[in-house]
Chains A and B, each alone.
Chain A
Amino acid sequence: MNHLPQAWGRPRDDIYGAYDSSYLQSHGPNQHTQQPIVTGTSVVALKFKDGVIIAADNLASYGSLARFTDVKRLRKFADTSVVGFGGDVSDMQYLDRLLNSLDTEEAYSSSGHTLNAHNLHTYLSKVFYKRRSDFNPLWNQILVAGLDGESKPFLASADLLGTTFSSPSLATGFGAHLAQPLLRKVAPDEEAAAKLSKEQALEAVKESMKVLFYRDARSLDNYSIAVVTKDGIDLKENEKLEKQSWAFADQIRGYGTQIN
C-alpha cells in the first residue's frame, strides 16, 4: 500500500502491470465507488503510558486542489475513543453517521456500558470487510485510539480492505512513510510506549505533523489533536503548527552551480 489513496485496493502496478481500466466501466448497472474524490491525508497516533495521542490535519483535498481547509477528521465516540479518518471524506461522513446511530442505540440498554475502543475497532473492521466483499468499499484507512476493556491504551488500524493491525505507534497514508520512523524512535515497542510521558508523546506527534506538512503536498498546517486518557478526551480542533524552520531557504540559490 502506498500513500496515494487512489491506488488503495488496486493491484500493484510494479507486480501485476498497469491496471486494465477497461474493467472499470464508467456506466452500466450497479455502480460502486471506484475511487475516492475528496480525500484526507495522514492520521498519526502514538500510545503513551496513560493513554493515546492521535492527530490529523484539517484539510480535505479535491485531487491536488486544497479544497476544504476546516474539515475535522478526528471523531469522538462515547467519551472513551477517538477515530481518525484518512481517505474519502464522504465515506467518512457515512461512517460518522453510522457511529452516531451506534452510540445512540448502545445508550438505550440500561446496563450503562458502551463500546470501548477495542470493540469499536472490531465493529469498524467488520463494516470495512463486508463492504469490500460486496465490491463496494468504504475508501478509508482509519485509526482507532482509546482505552480497551481493561482501561489500557488501545491503538489499531483498519482500512478499506478490512485489513487490521496494531502497534504502539501508527500512521496512515503518507504518514506511514514519514511519521512512523520518527514515532518508532520514541516508542520502538510496547514496553517503551508504556514508559512514555504525555509530554514526550505530544512532542513526538507534533513533530511528526510538522514533518508531514513539510513533505506531504496534500497536507495543511492546521490540525486537530486528541489526547485520550482515563480522565476523558481532550480534543483540540484548531491547532497551528509551531516553530517551522524556513530560514535556511534564504541561503539556497539556483539548482546547483549558481553562485549568488
Chain B
Amino acid sequence: MCLSALNPDTRAIVPGAPKVQQTTELQRPLQILIHPQLLTLRTSQSTLEHHANLPQTSIGTGYDLTNSVFSPDGRNFQVEYAVKAVENGGTSIGIRCKDGVVLAVEKIITSKLLKAGANKRIATIDRHVGAVSSGLVPDGRHFVSRARDEAASWRSTYKTPITTKDLASRMGGYLQAYTLYSSVRPFGITAIVGGWDSELELPVDGQVGSGPSIGSGGKVEGKTYGGPGLYMIEPSGMYWGYYGAATGKGRQTAKAELEKLDLAALKLSLQDGVKEAARIIYVAHADNKDKEFELEMTWISNLDGPTKGRHQEVPKDILEEAENLAKKYLEGEDDEETKDDDKPAEGDKMEE
C-alpha cells in the first residue's frame, strides 16, 4: 500500500493489479504524521531555514508521508518535520561548568491561570542526571520515563549508577528506533541531558562490607574518573557531547551567547554558570517579547558543591538573584542599542 502511494507511476503498469484509488484528501491526514503545515507560528527566520533545508520536491512527492521512508537523496522527511516541531518549542539550554552542570528552560506562559512554579519541565533521572527538552511536551515526558527505566535497569544489572554518557547513548538508540518504522512517528523533541558522574570509588548498590582496600582493577594511576557530562539528543537519534547546548525557538541567539563563554576551557564555575544560563534564556526570549515566560533552572554540582552530586532545582534565592542580573543586563543592552525604545516590561516574568 505504501509503495503505491509513494510511486503513483507504477500503478498503471502492473498487470492485473487491482485498481488503486487515488489518495484522497480524506486519507491523507491519516498518513501524515507530522506535516509542516500543521506547525503554525513559524518565525521568519525558521521559514527561511525551512526553504533552505527542504527542496520544493519534498511536499507533494509522497516521500514525506510516512516515517522511515528514504527520499531519492537519502533523507527521512518525517524526521526533518519533527525537527520543525522542536524549533517552535521554548528555548532550553545546558551549560557544562568545571564543577557541575546547569540546565534551564524558558516556559512560555500560555495563560494567567497557570500556577507559578508548577508544571515542571526539567526532570531528574536516577539521582545525578537531569533532562530538559524543547518541542512536544508529552514526548519529553515519554523520554524522561524511558530514561528513568534505563537508569533503573542499568542499576539492577551493574549495581552502580548509569553514567551520563551511557544514558545519552541508550536514549539516542531509543529515539533512533522511532525513525525505523512506519507504524510510529519520530520524537518531536530535542532533549538535553546533563549529569555529574561521581569521581569517587562508589560502593556497589546493596554492598554490606567495605570490599578490597586497593580499589577496583583496571584504573589508571593519576587519571581522574567521573565529572560533568552534557549531551543533546535530536529526533533522528543523533547525539553529541557538548560544552554548551541549546535548542528550541531561541537556539540561534542562545548558541551565539554560549560560544562567547569559552566553555571548552572549563573555567566557568557552577555559580557563574547559573547566572549565565539565566541571562542566556532572557536574551533568547528577547526575540519573542510578546509572550510572558517563566524561567526554570536546575543544577548538579560535584560532591563538594551545593548539591553533592545530585540533580536539584536551583534554590529560590539564587534563581532570583540570577534573574535580576539577567534583567539588568537586558536593560543595559537596551540602553546602548536603542535609547528611544521603551525599556522591556518589568512584567517579563509572571508575578509570584
Contact = CB atoms under 8 A, between A and B. Distances in A.
Interface of A: 60, 68, 70-73, 89, 92-94, 96-97, 100-101, 104, 107-108, 110
B215 interface: no
A71 B207 CA distance: 9
B92 interface: no
Nearest to A38: B208
B210 interface: yes
Given A101-B152, A101-B155, A110-B120, A89 B208 contact: yes
Rank and list the top 3 A-B pairs by shortest CB-CB distance, nearest first. Answer: A93-B206, A97-B206, A96-B206
A100 B209 contact: no
B208 A72 contact: yes
B119 to A, nearest CB: 9
Classify the interface of chain B: helix, strand, loop or mixed: loop
Interface string B203-221: 0011111100000000000
8 contacts: A70-B209, A71-B208, A96-B208, A97-B155, A97-B159, A101-B155, A104-B126, A104-B127
Contact of B209 (A68, A96, A101, A108): A68
Contacts of A101: 152, 155
B124 interface: yes
B83 interface: no
A68 B120 CA distance: 46
B123 A92 contact: no
Interface of B: 120, 123-124, 126-127, 148, 152, 155-156, 159, 205-210
Contacts of B127: 104, 107
A110 B123 CA distance: 9
Nearest to B117: A110
Contacts of A100: 155, 205-206
Scoring B124, B156, B208 by chain A CB atoms within 10 A of each residue's CB, the highest score goes to B208
Given A104-B126, A107-B124, A108-B148, A71 B209 contact: yes
Given A104-B127, A107-B124, A107-B127, A97 B205 contact: yes
Contacts of A104: 126-127, 152
A247 to B, nearest CB: 33
A68 B207 CA distance: 12
Contacts of B155: 97, 100-101
A108 B123 contact: yes
A141 B126 CA distance: 29
A24 to B, nearest CB: 27
Given A60-B208, A70-B209, 6 more contacts: A68-B209, A70-B210, A89-B208, A97-B205, A100-B206, A110-B120
